[in-house]
Amino acid sequence: MVRYTPPLGWNSWNTFGWDINEELIMSTADKMVEEGLLDAGYEYLVIDDCWAEDERDENGRLVPDRNKFPHGMKYIADYVHSKGLKFGMYSCDGYLTCAGFPASYQYEFIDAETFASWGVDFLKYDNCNRPATVPAKLLYHRMALALRNTGRDIMFSACNWGVEDVKEWIKETGSNMWRSTGDIVDSWESIKDIHYLQLDYQPYNGLGCFNDMDMLVVGMNGKGNVSMGGCTYSEYKTHFSLWCMLNSPLMLGCDIRNMSDETKKIVLNKDLIKINQDPAGCQPMLLQGFKNGNHDQVFIWAKQLENGDIAIGIFNLQDEQRLSYIGFDVLGLNRSCGVKLKFTDLWSHEEAVYKDGFKVLVPAHDCFVWRCKLLPMDV
Ligand code: GLA
């Protein structure tokens, strides 16, 4: 089954890395429901790397780590499903995963069948430790085919970090998402770097196959596997808003068992999630920012929405505040169109109506995202 909007969920890697186990996964499943994350759309619970024993069994099958997952993976999958969530796992197209556990090269069909028999609904497929002579394209094609032949509906999440021209061929595999960047870390610099990379990728992002900007670091606050000092509230808010505007999958990476009120305010912003999940899946349009040699660090993105509204976001990635003018002519609108725009701020919920444009003061590292409704000029 193709999923037309970007997948939402949680992944173990950013916070927990190697330190995963049955109790963590089951209590995370509980919290996804209790905290309202599932209701907000976060439905996939994904175990990343470091879940397997070092050796396959006598039939060549992957074996879950007996200490971390003493009841095996079907047990976990059943529990996750009993909560109304979907269950995701991780493998890699090489001999070993990135963290050095057995991976699926030359075992693709056996592993796909194993995952299906456990009740897996989502597979993140990494790109480490593979033979240099075999192109990634063939290996992603091969695993996609293996998954499809299990007869189970398993979402394929390709993770080859944007290399080997993945954007050109990934849709051939039917993959639902493709990682366009190296690994995120919990720092403002990392968020900015990943955003810059996306400017040339937008034309390749679309319905059913989304450009994955990597798991979210919102709420990590400097703690966990990929922590690098953490970010401020405004920086996490800007990070989340960018990932929503640019149609990235939204995979939480913090410890959701201990979310602060600020973290919940960000990741449970249903108006922002609606922008990310808009059924039209239009790629956003860059109205201002760093492109073709223009080094402006204040970006304005706009995205047409299915009901005729427009989402507009302004993102100040520089270190000083900026007074910016947002003129509607760059959206293709002018007085001859006979419309004005009603702006609803998706963070403060304030509303305002403008005719041709308006000025806004954006604090450093902060953003505004509005949902804009077209109204007849004379109303
Ligand atoms: C790679 C991926 C990460 C994570 C680790 C696990 O670095 O890009 O997202 O899955 O491997 O080892």
Q: What CATH number has the domain bearing residue 66?
A: 3.20.20.70
> Which of 220, 281, 214, 218 lies closest to 245, judged by CA?
281
- In short, whether 103's Cβ falls inside 6 Å of ligand 1 is no
The model's pTM is 0.97
Span 44-96, pLDDT tens digits: 999 999 999 999 999 999 999 999 999 999 999 999 999 999 999 999 999 99
Q: Is residue 254, in this structure, part of any structural domain at all?
A: yes
Q: 198-233 burial string, b = 16+ CB within 10 Å, else e?
A: beebbebbebebbbbbbbbbbbbbeebbbbeebbeb
- Ligand 1 atom, smallest distance to 127 CA: 1
- pLDDT the model gives residue 2: 72
1: pLDDT strictly greater than 70: no
Sign of CA dihedral 365, 371, 376, 379: negative
In this structure, of 35-44, 136-145, 282-291, the range with the lowest mean pLDDT score is: 282-291
Pair (192, 95) in one structural domain: yes
- Rounded mean pLDDT, 228-253: 97
- pLDDT the model gives residue 291: 62
Pair (61, 181) in one structural domain: yes
Q: Which of 48, 121, 126, 255 is catalytic?
A: 126
CA of residue 216 to ligand 1 center, whole Å: 13
Strands 177-179 and 155-158: parallel
Q: Is residue 124, in this structure, part of any structural domain at all?
A: yes
- In short, whether 98's Cβ falls inside 6 Å of ligand 1 is yes
Pair (335, 358) in one structural domain: yes
- In short, whether 108's Cβ falls inside 6 Å of ligand 1 is no
- Rounded mean pLDDT, 261-289: 96
> Which residue, of 276, 294, 320, is where some domain finishes?
276
- Rounded mean pLDDT, 206-220: 95
CA distances from 166 to 4, 51, 66, 342 (A): 20, 27, 35, 39
Q: Is residue 225, in this structure, part of any structural domain at all?
A: yes
Pair (327, 178) in one structural domain: no
Span 359-376, pLDDT tens digits: 999 999 999 999 999 999
- Ligand 1 atom, smallest distance to 215 CA: 9
Q: Is residue 86, in this structure, part of any structural domain at all?
A: yes
Span 169-189, pLDDT tens digits: 999 998 999 999 999 999 999
- Examine the residue annotation and report whether 271 is marked as an active-site residue of this protein: no
- pLDDT the model gives residue 295: 74
Pair (233, 291) in one structural domain: no
- pLDDT the model gives residue 3: 80
> Which residue, of 228, 253, 276, is where some domain finishes?
276
Strands 351-354 and 298-304: unpaired
CA of residue 44 to ligand 1 center, whole Å: 17
Pair (29, 85) in one structural domain: yes
Q: Whose CA is nearest to atom 8 of ligand 1?
A: 183
- pLDDT the model gives residue 140: 97
- Ligand 1 atom, smallest distance to 90 CA: 10
Pair (262, 317) in one structural domain: no
| Banded model confidence at residue 296, pLDDT cuts 50, 70, 90 | confident
Pair (365, 228) in one structural domain: no
- Rounded mean pLDDT, 144-153: 97
Mutate to test the pocket of ligand 1, among 163, 183, 214 (most ligand atoms within 8 A of CB): 183
Q: Is 358 helix (H, G, I), strand (E, B) or coil?
A: strand
Mutate to test the pocket of ligand 1, among 13, 92, 181, 225 (most ligand atoms within 8 A of CB): 13
Please give the residue that has the higher pLDDT: either 200 or 26: 26
- In short, whether 183's Cβ falls inside 6 Å of ligand 1 is yes
Residue 230: phi, psi to the nearest 5?
A: 80, 180
At residue 249, what is the residue type?
P
Q: Is residue 3, in this structure, part of any structural domain at all?
A: no
Mutate to test the pocket of ligand 1, among 47, 126, 179, 180 (most ligand atoms within 8 A of CB): 126
- In short, whether 245's Cβ falls inside 6 Å of ligand 1 is no
379: pLDDT strictly greater than 90: no
Q: Is 340 helix (H, G, I), strand (E, B) or coil?
A: strand
Return the structure tokens found at 107. 């075992």
Average pLDDT, the chain: 96
Q: Is residue 1, in this structure, part of any structural domain at all?
A: no
* CATH at residue 344: 2.60.40.1180
- Examine the residue annotation and report whether 126 is marked as an active-site residue of this protein: yes
Q: Is residue 18, in this structure, part of any structural domain at all?
A: yes
Q: Is residue 154, in this structure, part of any structural domain at all?
A: yes
- Ligand 1 atom, smallest distance to 99 CA: 12
- pLDDT the model gives residue 378: 85
Parent domain of 127: 8-276
Pair (235, 331) in one structural domain: no
Quote the number of domains for the chain. 2
- In short, whether 159's Cβ falls inside 6 Å of ligand 1 is yes
- Rounded mean pLDDT, 127-148: 96
